[in-house]
A and B are shown apart, each in its own frame.
Chain A
Amino acid sequence: GIQVEQSPPDLILQEGANSTLRCNFSDSVNNLQWFHQNPWGQLINLFYIPSGTKQNGRLSATTVATERYSLLYISSSQTTDSGVYFCAVGEGSTLGRLYFGRGTQLTVWP
């Protein structure tokens, strides 16, 4: 299957700071999604973004498919942004199977 590497593994920020999370993947993909797992364990879909750029409020994401990476930007961090951010990818031969990275643990302090 596709290898997915996320960095950094841990990130600690003060409220109001900006951050960039990275996701590298080992093969061409036609499905890429970013999720936030909150401290209660709920997985929330943030973006479906196999290519291009999208923005949703303070969050934005960019995927450069030809170079096999995706970036998630969080601006003006809030304590509610804390949790684990996962990148998940899928490709044609195993369509429907998302391969998840190990995640970035984000902690935002007030």
Chain B
Amino acid sequence: DAGVIQSPRHEVTEMGQEVTLRCKPISGHDYLFWYRQTMMRGLELLIYFNNNVPIDDSGMPEDRFSAKMPNASFSTLKIQPSEPRDSAVYFCASSLVLVGYGYTFGSGTRLTVV
């Protein structure tokens, strides 16, 4: 298996622009997670899905952020409009189950908003 695949690896955008990050989980994994890593706040969960349904989105910072999972093999995280404080590394992860199994992370997308 190719693991969790994220794209793009790097994204530089201007403030106010829309940004879309993409994730393909490991085939057969029922859970998909979006995490954000910053120097100030470390790694924090934004949202997670179970069988394509959002379960916990309490970590989504504000209405500018939205996430979708239209099918079992694809998810997007969208920021509209983007702001400089959104600059971070965004990770996608997937897992077979919530407990009993380790989570597999993708390589991350480094987002820079200027």
Chain A residues with a Cβ under 8 A of chain B: 30-31, 33, 35, 41-45, 47-48, 50, 86, 88, 90, 94-98, 100-103
| Nearest chain B residue, comparing its CB with the CB of A34 | B102
Decide yes or no: A48 and B55 within 8 Å by CB, A88-B43, A98-B45 being known contacts.
no
Q: List 7 A-B contacts (CB under 8 A).
A: A31-B99, A33-B102, A41-B108, A43-B105, A48-B101, A95-B99, A96-B55
In the bound complex, what is the Cα–Cα distance between A86 and B48 (angstroms)?
Answer: 20
Contacts between the two chains (Cβ within 8 Å), count: 55
Q: Which residues of A contact B42 (CB under 8 A)?
A: 100-103
- Cα–Cα distance between A90 and B102 once the two chains are bound (Å): 12
CB distance from A11 to the nearest CB of B (A): 18
Distance in angstroms from B103 CB to nearest chain A CB is 6
Q: Which bracket fits the contact residues of B? A: 20 to 34
Is B13 part of the contact surface with A, judged by Cβ < 8 Å?
A: no
Q: Shortest beta-carbon distance, B102 to chain A, in Å? A: 4
B31 x A96 contact (CB < 8 A)? yes
